[in-house]
Structure 1
């Protein structure tokens, strides 16, 4: 299996891969058709939702991701947060009809590589693609000379080992570690229905962890009564607690275990939510 850096080096030497993300399929078709005129060196891919986009990004290297800002259940900012975790050198361009000046002020932390203000012409987006795809190639070549990838520097060899492991070979601990790395969380806790800590990854206060787990479980499972009062047929599947420094997201795995994620308030909840749900789905059969 090739390493992440090898995949990128191969991509730079051969073709430019561009992913367009928009919930409007007519826009996807228009952009796909228009960008194919850039030539055979450009491979244009499309996705109509975040799940499809992330699945493609996890499987192959993209020089550029162009995403709409406002989509059902997520924003382009949520997707960009995830892209930065999976593929930090991929260029990300945000399309918006809401004006770029305000967005630049609210999204500066994510360092978008470009903005496209709707309506735009095909000539404008083609030129944007040419410029940003070339920036991605320069970044990868510089990284190759340094001999280290972003993940090697930030997360170390353990992150690479977990990321490259086949899904069917991953343990419960591997899944928790992958969630911790991908979502950029402070800590990840796997808790049973009685409030006992099963496994944990990240920064944990050992003196408080037992009480934290017990409180999380008590609050979560008591919400079943509230669900009944609101005439829900099933209990709530997740809970979110917003704080001044850290937020807490709790997700049901299989009605016997909970996945709790503590993350900095500066992180967009959409990306954390996506990876937590993805991990809960993967853990369910392992905890049956």
Structure 2
């Protein structure tokens, strides 16, 4: 059965988790309408204005708890299916939930895939074949893969990949087969969306973050936003400097963004010239007569200064001394 016209209401006072769950359900069906409510009162207000096929509610909330909400929903509309979830599971709570005829009782923590599966079953939505890639032309795919290969070599990474907003890998270059890339994609995409939602709740300016970093003893992960629909991800050895990885990722993300926006794939030099031209127009700081090499120098110097400010003092001069600037750039600089 198709997901067209299905409405879901997620009720949880944990705004970040609610946003993560909504993001995760995008993979169940693009036509699903998913709304959020922070408590039972807000949920009932929304239900009074429109019908919902499924209500997913946390049990422990201020005011009316989730089980009380489910009981009210049974009286209002017995056709509404309910899923109750809690981090404070017990035999007594589960018994109460089942007595109210909830469709599913879920104890936190649970996996994204488990949650999607339960929602699909509740709505009788068949699982579609996973979309492996975005709608890329062969030329776009080849060009992106070329940049990913270059990025992996420059950062000594285990794996680099481009993932779309649905958590699906688009392109990949890897030396490691031991990582669960599919789940890693889901985690990175949903966490980015959830954090943005929480920031919006706190300061009112939530947007997906351009850069995120997660360090660990065996692997470190940097993700960099490419437009609004993709993340560029690098998984690398923790001994590699984060500033070095970020520096090359920023450059690669710019090329990939230009490739994704282009209908006919331009060459690498054409993309670089296009980026410089756009920077001139947007910033108004470069003279119109500047040659591409000079403009590239200015743009990369600015990027190096930003890298130093964000990652512990990496200046442009230091980047040159430490060999963080690729041979291609240094060659272009010499020709300029």
Q: TM-score, normalised by structure 2?
A: 0.35
Q: Between Structure 1 and Structure 2, whose CA radius of gyration is higher?
A: 2
Q: TM-score, normalised by structure 1?
A: 0.41
